[in-house]
Amino acid sequence: MFNVVYNFLVMNKVNGYGLIKSGKITEALKFFENTLKDRVDEESECGIKIIKYVLSKVKRIREVNDNHKIADMLVMEWRNVLSWINTNDCGKFPDLTESIKYYIFLLALKYYQAAIDSILGNSSSGFVDIDLMVKVSKCYREIGEVDKCIEVLEEVRGYRVYDSSVLSNLADAYFEVGEIDRSKLFFREAFFWDPQEIDVFDLKSMLIKGLIKIVVSHGYKGEEINEWIPIYGVIENLFDVRRELLKEEVDMILDRVRVMEAEYERDRKWRNILEPRLVNNYIWLIDYYALQVGDYELARSVGKILQKFSPNIHNKLKLGVYKWL
């Protein structure tokens, strides 16, 4: 008898979650209220409280007369909703939390799409709002449509080849679908061009979470973490997937190195950022000369510069996959 009642309760809640995910949140509220009339059920009580809280927030947000702004506000509101759920002791019902999250991000996605349709309808130039597309990709990721997220981000990458935020999110999504080599390649790229553009604590892959722990264990903190992740990614042989560099990219790196070396000598204020960033550029040059050009002597000459600049990192590299350095 107990199993029959338990299975009935579980099926009821699944039906309630389905209503929330499909956007029928007021019907879900009635569903949980009816369930509570029949029996005391803590999860249904949480469902009622959460839905009422979310509905009040959504009603207020919808008063804004701008689809793009409404979608932005919904996405920002999710963290407040999650905090409210945990504060009110409802976080112990993960399926309920996930269904609410799905509802919010699906609703945001609909408003973003409406904003895109409006832009396309008012423009004959084929204008593409890249920032809006990035936001759309995030919504797809949060509702579990990772392949669609990747599709959007790959399109965005065509416009922003060296955008570290885009590359890191693309890498994170590829990691989730099991394309590990492609994920490693894009993470390596992302943490090279501009590490400070990456919200590392928003990334979900265990690859980055593990590297964050390693970097923090070495005493780095704050914005330093982003800069040292690629260094320890190489030391730990995790950022081990590379692509061939174009000549103009090599020239760009050499120019960056010259500027950073001069800045490092001139201004001590940013040395905690410039040191790892320079080290990463040296590593990219070493890889280029050794693996792409095949000139190990030239690679070693860069290694000697790295050794003088950061002997500790040079030793760690030699103990790993750069024994020849």
Domains located in the chain, CATH noted: 2-189 (1.25.40.10), 247-319 (no CATH)
| Spatial separation of the C-alpha atoms in residues 205 and 184, rounded to whole Å | 11
Q: In this structure, what DSSP letter does residue 221 have?
A: -
User: How much is the pLDDT for 15?
Assistant: 83
Distinct helix (H) and strand (E) counts, the chain: 15, 0
How is residue 70 written in tokens?
């409404």
Q: Tokens 């990463």 label which residue?
A: 280
| Spatial separation of the C-alpha atoms in residues 42 and 101, rounded to whole Å | 20
User: How much is the pLDDT for 128?
Assistant: 72
Q: How far is CA 243 from CA 46, 149, 178, 191, 286, in A?
A: 50, 23, 19, 14, 14
Q: Which long-range contacts (CB under 8 A, 24 or more apart) does 166-174 make?
A: 166/134, 167/193, 168/197, 168/198, 168/200, 168/203, 169/134, 169/137, 169/138, 169/141, 169/203, 171/205, 172/203, 172/204, 172/205, 172/208, 173/137, 173/141, 173/146, 173/149, 174/150
Asked if residues 28 and 19 have their Cβ atoms less than 8 Å apart, the reply is: yes
Neighbouring C-beta atoms of residue 280, cutoff 10 Å:
24
Supply the pTM of this predicted model.
Answer: 0.89
User: How much is the pLDDT for 214?
Assistant: 98
Residues contacting 129, CB < 8 A, separation 6+: 116, 119
User: How much is the pLDDT for 2?
Assistant: 34
User: How much is the pLDDT for 122?
Assistant: 67
| Spatial separation of the C-alpha atoms in residues 93 and 317, rounded to whole Å | 46
| Spatial separation of the C-alpha atoms in residues 228 and 200, rounded to whole Å | 12
User: How much is the pLDDT for 8?
Assistant: 39
Q: What is the pLDDT along the chain (325 residues), one digit of tens a residue?
A: 334 333 434 445 668 899 999 999 999 999 999 988 877 789 999 999 999 999 999 999 999 999 999 999 999 999 999 999 999 999 999 999 999 999 999 999 999 999 998 887 765 555 678 999 999 999 999 999 999 999 999 999 999 999 999 999 999 999 999 999 999 999 999 999 999 999 999 999 999 999 999 999 999 999 999 999 999 999 999 999 999 999 999 999 999 999 999 999 887 788 899 999 999 999 999 999 999 999 999 999 999 999 999 999 999 999 998 999 9
Q: Which of 316, 289, 317, 284 is nearest to 301 (CA)?
A: 289
